[in-house]
């Protein structure tokens, strides 16, 4: 008996399961390759100001003292900045990355995001600060690629559609931010994991759905609490809308709304008890340029005025160059036509970044804060491309209580009668 069939027999892999395993391995390999391509972009540095704090925190989780971790991280971030400058034909000027005179209130914001550096700590311990952080970043990006494949397969049907969506995830702006030493890859993993869990809930499989969605939400909150809160709000609203939508799974919708509400309640309680930075602190950080100026007396009034000044220009820019807007609308239309019972969930997750941009209305941060918007775009255009190639089986409606093995059948897709 040939070696591969013999191994499959020992692992009790049937032919369909072996095919699925091969697709998963292909997705992982392509995701890893695309990560390396995006990471090697010589014109952009791999680290940033936020990266400094994540790397510093990861070292401290391994037992390194604060002073040593700060000095070591300062040196490594400077090396990356100088490497990028040389690659672009510029003179390297970084000698020591600024690490003194930073407010404890600013540091507390990063201390409240332990997910990414805590995951990186074992790799930092084994491989050193830089390699450890980048291995962690790569693992998160590959995980995001795999979850995108599974989420599209579940929602829209077709392995090829999921594979193309994964490729798009790395080619779109998400690909750049996932390959930087930042928590964005961790956030996308949390968003996609939550999507998968809630789609399982919508099938009426409550225990399985919660087993996926709850850890995914918790992970998102630990990586970036603002994204986690926005995601919980999406679940609450999407669940409530599904409750009054004809043909939706009532139990799944109710559990989804309850999950969103419970997450918000637990988070705000924990945040209050541990005195974690709140929205007020985020506004003060923005208004005082990282607490280098005195606090403003009316932070919410100040934020409202900032938004009134910010959004008219953004709307004009979107109308003058409407490609992104048209792409978003097209993606939403595809989801509404082909996966209407989970379309609002996907669209809501995509628009969750709007809440972050409203809380931090600054053009230079817009692309990063709006990153989740590319998830439904990658999913929809991955499906559309596969459909154009004739490699998508026309989806069938799935009964909410279906016992079809996940993710072999699309979830409550548009009727094909």
pLDDT value, residue 413: 37
pLDDT value, residue 5: 59
DSSP 232-267: HHHHHHHHHHHHTSTTS-HHHHHHHHHHHHHHHHHH
Phi first, then psi, for residue 261 (nearest 5°) are -65, -45
C-alpha to C-alpha distance for 395 and 387, rounded to whole angstroms = 11
Q: Tell how far CA 250 is from the center of its chain.
A: 28
Q: Tell how far CA 346 is from the center of its chain.
A: 13
DSSP 328-367: HHHHHHHHHHH-HHHHHHHHHHHHTHHHHHHHS--HHHHH
Residues 167/174, Cβ–Cβ less than 8 Å = no
Structure tokens at 182: 């930042």
Q: Which residues contact 263 (CB under 8 A, 6 or more apart)?
A: 217, 221, 228, 232, 235
pLDDT tens-place values along the chain, 417 residues long: 455 555 545 556 677 778 888 899 999 999 999 999 999 876 677 777 899 999 999 999 999 999 999 999 999 999 888 888 887 778 888 887 776 778 999 999 999 999 999 999 999 999 999 999 999 999 999 999 999 999 999 999 889 999 999 999 999 999 999 999 999 999 999 999 999 999 999 888 999 999 999 999 999 999 999 999 999 999 999 999 988 887 778 899 999 999 999 999 999 999 999 999 989 999 999 899 889 899 999 999 999 999 999 999 999 999 998 998 999 999 999 999 988 888 999 999 999 999 999 999 988 889 999 999 999 999 999 999 999 887 665 444 343 333 334 444 444 333 332
Structure tokens at 46: 């791999």
Structure tokens at 202: 């919508």
Residues 400/249, Cβ–Cβ less than 8 Å = yes
End-to-end Cα spacing for the chain: 46
Structure tokens at 144: 């995001």
Burial of 272 (0-12, 13-18, 19+ CB in 10 A): exposed
Residues 264/232, Cβ–Cβ less than 8 Å = yes
Residue whose token pair is 């009727």:
415
pLDDT value, residue 257: 95
User: Residue 345: which of 164, 175, 154 has the closest Cα?
Assistant: 154
Residues 222/114, Cβ–Cβ less than 8 Å = yes
Cβ neighbours of 4 (radius 10 Å)? 10
pLDDT value, residue 395: 46
C-alpha to C-alpha distance for 95 and 79, rounded to whole angstroms = 9
pLDDT value, residue 206: 92
C-alpha to C-alpha distance for 410 and 417, rounded to whole angstroms = 16
Q: Calculate the dihedral angle through the C-alpha atoms of 196, 202, 203, 208, rounding to the nearest 10 degrees.
A: 50
Q: Please report, for residues 24, 152, 185, 312, 383, the alpha-carbon distance to residue 34 in angstroms, rounded to integers and kept in the order given.
A: 15, 19, 14, 36, 20
User: Residue 191: which of 224, 225, 216 has the closest Cα?
Assistant: 216
């Amino acid at each position: 008996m040939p070696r591969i069939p013999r191994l499959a027999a020992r692992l009790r892999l049937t032919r369909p399961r072996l095919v699925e395993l091969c697709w998963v391995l292909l997705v992982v390999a392509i995701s890893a390759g695309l990560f390396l391509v995006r990471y090697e972009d010589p014109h952009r540095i791999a680290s940033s100001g936020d990266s400094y704090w994540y790397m510093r925190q990861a070292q401290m989780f391994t037992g390194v003292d604060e002073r040593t971790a700060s000095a070591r991280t300062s040196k490594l971030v400077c090396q990356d900045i100088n490497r990028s400058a040389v690659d672009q034909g510029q003179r390297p000027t970084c000698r020591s990355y600024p690490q003194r005179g930073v407010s404890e209130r600013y540091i507390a914001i990063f201390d409240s995001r332990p997910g990414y550096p805590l995951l990186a700590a074992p790799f930092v311990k084994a491989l050193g600060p830089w390699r450890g952080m980048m291995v962690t970043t790569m693992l998160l990006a590959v995980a995001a690629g795999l979850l995108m494949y599974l989420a599209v397969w579940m929602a829209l049907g077709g392995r090829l559609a999921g594979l193309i969506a994964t490729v798009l995830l790395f080619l779109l702006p998400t690909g750049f931010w996932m390959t930087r030493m930042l928590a964005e890859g961790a956030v996308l993993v949390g968003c996609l994991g939550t999507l998968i869990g809630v789609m399982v809930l919508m099938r009426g499989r409550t225990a399985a759905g919660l087993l996926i969605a709850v850890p995914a939400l918790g992970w998102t909150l630990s990586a970036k609490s603002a994204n986690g809160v926005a995601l919980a709000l999406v679940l609450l609203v999407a669940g409530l809308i599904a409750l009054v939508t004809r043909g939706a799974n009532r139990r799944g919708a109710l559990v989804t709304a309850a999950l969103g509400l419970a997450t918000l309640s637990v988070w705000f309680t924990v945040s209050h008890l541990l005195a974690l930075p709140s929205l007020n602190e985020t506004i003060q950080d923005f208004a005082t340029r990282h607490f280098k100026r005195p606090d403003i007396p009316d932070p919410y009034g100040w934020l409202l005025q900032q938004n009134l000044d910010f959004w008219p220009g953004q709307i004009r820019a979107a109308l003058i160059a409407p490609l992104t807007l048209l792409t978003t609308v097209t993606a939403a239309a595809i989801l509404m036509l082909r996966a209407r019972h989970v379309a609002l969930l996907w669209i809501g997750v995509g628009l969750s970044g709007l809440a972050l941009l409203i809380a931090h209305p600054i053009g230079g941060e817009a692309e990063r804060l709006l990153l989740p918007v590319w998830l439904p775009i990658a999913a929809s255009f991955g499906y559309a491309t596969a459909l154009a190639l004739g490699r998508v089986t026309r989806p069938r409606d799935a009964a909410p209580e279906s016992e079809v093995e996940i993710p072999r059948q699309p979830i409550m897709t548009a009727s094909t009668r």
